[in-house]
């Protein structure tokens, strides 16, 4: 049996990148899925999973809209009879806008999707999970929420907020049998980060992508999906209130200057 055999799972931001990789992986492990994205690319994700024999339904919705979130949570419960796990994965980067050029509206939209979205996923999935005394909530944060230097200001603030939301919610869920954790990806090639990779390829500097972490490479969407799969599964039954970092070691150190010799530093 798979690690999610027979479990009802929602994944947001499933139209591409990490969400699509997770949809394929979770379905292979036996999950019955509701996949969500505001882009119609979520239909392609559902087609890929369905063609591979998975049980799935695609929903076009805005993860930062309360009525939409309530709708897709209720849909999962109606279709599959329960909700065992939800991964609030949808997010936007906001770009690298200089601080003095940032607007309130820019901040509000990033926070609406990246932070209020996970809050809404928690709010509307909690009652169903508490009623069954079982459930796992996973939220996508980022290494940008741990330290500076990985993103623009509003994105970093939103992801720091996700980590705090996960930690505080873990105690709000005390005694309910419901767990909540965050995944903190490093540099992963997705639709959101595509411009970074495209610019590097245009300049001929693709080999330098990820050079600051000890593995000296970028991550793949499937490597983040693996962590979320673990957190959603019973294999993580004693993991709760944590921010699990998957970044090749980037956040394990203060910045250092490397010499040209492999394995050494100045």
> Known catalytic residue: 155?
yes
* Tokens describing residue 235: 């294999």
**CA-CA distance, 9 to 239, in Å (whole number)?**
18
Quick one: how far is CA 40 from the chain centroid? 19
**CA-CA distance, 41 to 45, in Å (whole number)?**
7
Q: Which of 80, 134, 155, 171 is catalytic?
A: 155
When computed from its CA atoms, the radius of gyration of the chain, rounded to whole angstroms, is 18
Please identify which residue in the block is written with the tokens 């055999």. Answer: 5
Sheet with strand 8-12: strands edge to edge: 55-60, 32-37, 8-12, 85-88, 135-140, 178-185, 243-246
Q: Which residues are catalytic?
A: 155
């Amino acid at each position: 049996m798979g690690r999610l055999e027979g479990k009802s799972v929602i994944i947001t931001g499933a139209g591409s990148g990490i969400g699509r990789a997770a949809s394929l992986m979770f379905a292979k492990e036996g999950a019955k899925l509701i996949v969500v994205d505001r882009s119609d690319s979520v239909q392609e994700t559902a087609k890929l999973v369905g063609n591979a024999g998975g049980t799935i339904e695609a929903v076009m919705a805005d993860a930062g809209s309360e009525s939409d979130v309530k709708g897709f949570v209720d849909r999962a419960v109606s279709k599959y009879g329960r909700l065992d796990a939800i991964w609030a994965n949808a997010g936007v980067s906001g770009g690298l806008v200089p601080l003095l050029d940032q607007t309130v509206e820019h901040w509000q939209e990033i926070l609406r999707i990246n932070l209020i979205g996970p809050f809404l996923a928690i709010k509307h999935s909690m009652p169903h999970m508490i009623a069954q005394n079982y459930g796992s909530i996973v939220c996508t944060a980022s290494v940008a929420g741990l330290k500076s230097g990985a993103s623009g200001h509003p994105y970093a603030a939103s992801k720091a907020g996700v980590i705090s939301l996960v930690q505080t919610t873990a105690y709000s869920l005390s005694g309910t049998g419901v767990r909540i954790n965050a995944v903190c990806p490093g540099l992963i090639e997705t639709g959101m980060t595509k411009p970074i990779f495209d610019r590097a390829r245009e300049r001929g500097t693709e080999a330098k992508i990820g050079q600051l972490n000890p593995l000296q490479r970028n991550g793949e969407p499937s490597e983040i999906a693996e962590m979320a799969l673990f957190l959603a599964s019973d294999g993580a039954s004693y993991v709760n209130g944590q921010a699990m970092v998957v970044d090749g070691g980037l956040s394990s150190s203060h910045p250092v200057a490397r010499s040209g010799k492999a394995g050494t530093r100045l």
